[in-house]
């Protein structure tokens, strides 16, 4: 019989309570406790799941075979280090840490103490990405959009580390080359960290990626488009759906030159484009629960010592690009001259109101 792994969750807020719920229901796992700086919250979650509540995470270090760290990003480094120093395998939520320096310390600690370190880049477990990743593909242009309404959480970091980091990790996994240069701009809507960001990444293998993220958008969208010599792909990660388009064998062999076609063939071209000349396929990814897949994979890696799908090094590489984006963004000059306003919080003065205000009616 497989030994039951003793696991704990540190931080049981919005996402951590889901980690705890799933772990409590897995066979071969004993959820030995949940810790939260908000002890009442820890107690509520612990009671619901039949486990123990802890105010401090430190006692758990001596009680577990593995743990999930689901506290705010700015606390990951301090909390995770205590477990890694004792060689305890961790699933740390994304982003691995709030800075590259902190991420590097965690990766080195995991290596030195031989601990599995997986990072919660959950989109790698999205069925649409899994389908995408299985295909022979040399992406040459990637466009990613990840936008949604303000959740009120993760205000300890900006949208680049909060949301864009998902796409940076996916894009690095697809492009399979180092980033050569970065251009970026961003806006802080509420006066803190940036809430909207756009970056253009140039890779050493010629691939170019345009990445947009916003946490102040009225609509939610998680999409990606890819051009490659093999064809064109649209991914909708929210719907777990892929649309693939590739030139037919005849087009691949002989090309398609509309100017050389006779008038009748040319007039049919529009109707036949997506049936005869370009083959299309739509794939609906399985409606699997990504967090359950991610946690099960982590526990497998803990048991077998296998390398996780998203390692600490992968996560630190995404943070390295994120920091280059943040640096470029800070230096982005809105008026095109270095003396003018720069960066997400220092915009040119508005010329007026986009939506003119109606005059207020005096109360009778
Ligand atoms: P949250 O604020 O809802 O929950 C964080 C919890 O951690 C709170 O209950 C807080 O009291 C507790 N906490 C703070 N410091 C602590 C400490 N030192 N020890 C123990 N508990 C502590 O935040 P959230 O939205 O659940 O996000 C948590 C982490 O998960 C963040 O790193 C975030 O980026 C990540 N996240 C990832 C995804 C994803 O798609 N993978 C989605 C949401 C959040």
Please report where in the chains the tokens 């802080």 appear, as a residue.
Answer: 188
The residue whose C-alpha atom lies closest to atom 31 belonging to ligand 1 is 72
Ligand 1 in reach of 15 Cβ (< 6 A): yes
Digit-coded pLDDT (tens) for 18-58: 999 999 999 999 999 999 999 999 999 999 999 999 999 99
Question: What does pTM read for this prediction?
Answer: 0.96
User: Does residue 93 line the site of ligand 1, with CB under 6 A?
Assistant: yes
Helix (H), strand (E) at residue 33: strand 29-35
**What is the whole-number distance in angstroms between the Cα of residue 332 and the centre of ligand 1?**
31
Distances (CA, A) of 347 to 70, 186, 192, 276, 340: 34, 10, 14, 51, 9
Nearest residue (CA) to ligand 1, atom 40: 122
The finding on whether 81 has its CB within 6 A of some atom of ligand 1 is no
pLDDT tens digits along 157-200 = 999 999 999 999 999 999 999 999 999 999 999 889 999 999 99
pLDDT band for 2, please (50, 70, 90 cuts).
low
CA of 337 to the centre of ligand 1 (A): 40
> Is the separation of the CB atoms in 104 and 80 below 8 Å?
no
| The Cα angle at residue 135 between residues 134 and 138, in degrees rounded to 5 | 125
Mean pLDDT of the chain: 95
Query: What is the atom index within ligand 1 of the atom nearest the CA of 162?
Result: 34
């Amino acid at each position: 019989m497989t030994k039951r792994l003793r696991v704990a969750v540190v931080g049981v807020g919005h996402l951590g309570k889901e980690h705890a719920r799933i772990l409590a229901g897995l066979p071969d796992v004993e959820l030995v406790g949940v810790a939260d700086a908000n002890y009442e919250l820890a107690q509520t979650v612990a009671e619901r799941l039949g486990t123990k509540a802890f105010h401090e995470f430190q006692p758990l270090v001596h009680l577990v075979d593995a743990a999930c760290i689901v506290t705010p990003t700015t606390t990951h480094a301090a909390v995770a280090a205590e477990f890694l120093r004792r060689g305890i395998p961790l699933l740390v939520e994304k982003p691995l840490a709030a800075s590259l320096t902190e991420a590097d310390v965690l990766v080195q600690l995991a290596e030195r103490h031989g601990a599995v370190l997986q990072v919660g880049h959950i989109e790698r477990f999205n069925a649409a990405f899994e389908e995408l990743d299985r295909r022979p593909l040399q992406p040459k242009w990637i466009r990613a959009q990840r936008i949604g309404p303000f959740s009120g959480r993760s205000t300890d970091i900006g949208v680049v580390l909060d949301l864009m980091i998902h796409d940076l990790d996916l894009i690095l996994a697809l492009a399979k080359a180092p980033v050569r240069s970065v251009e970026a701009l961003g806006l802080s809507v509420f006066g803190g960290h940036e809430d909207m960001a756009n970056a253009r990444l140039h890779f050493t293998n010629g691939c170019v990626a345009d990445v947009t993220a916003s946490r102040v958008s009225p609509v939610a969208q998680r999409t990606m488009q890819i051009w490659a010599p093999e064809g064109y792909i649209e991914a909708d990660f929210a719907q777990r759906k892929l649309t693939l388009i590739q030139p037919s064998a005849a087009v691949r062999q002989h090309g398609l030159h509309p100017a050389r076609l006779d008038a009748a063939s040319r007039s049919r071209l529009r109707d036949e484009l997506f049936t005869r000349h370009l083959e299309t396929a739509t794939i609906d990814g399985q409606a699997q629960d990504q967090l359950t897949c991610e946690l099960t994979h982590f526990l497998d890696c803990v048991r077998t010592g296998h390398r996780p799908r998203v390692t600490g090094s992968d996560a630190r590489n995404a943070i390295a690009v994120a920091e280059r984006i943040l640096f470029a963004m800070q230096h982005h000059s809105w008026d095109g001259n270095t003396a003018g306003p720069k960066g997400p919080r220092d915009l040119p003065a508005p010329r007026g109101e986009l939506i003119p205000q109606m005059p207020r009616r005096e109360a009778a």
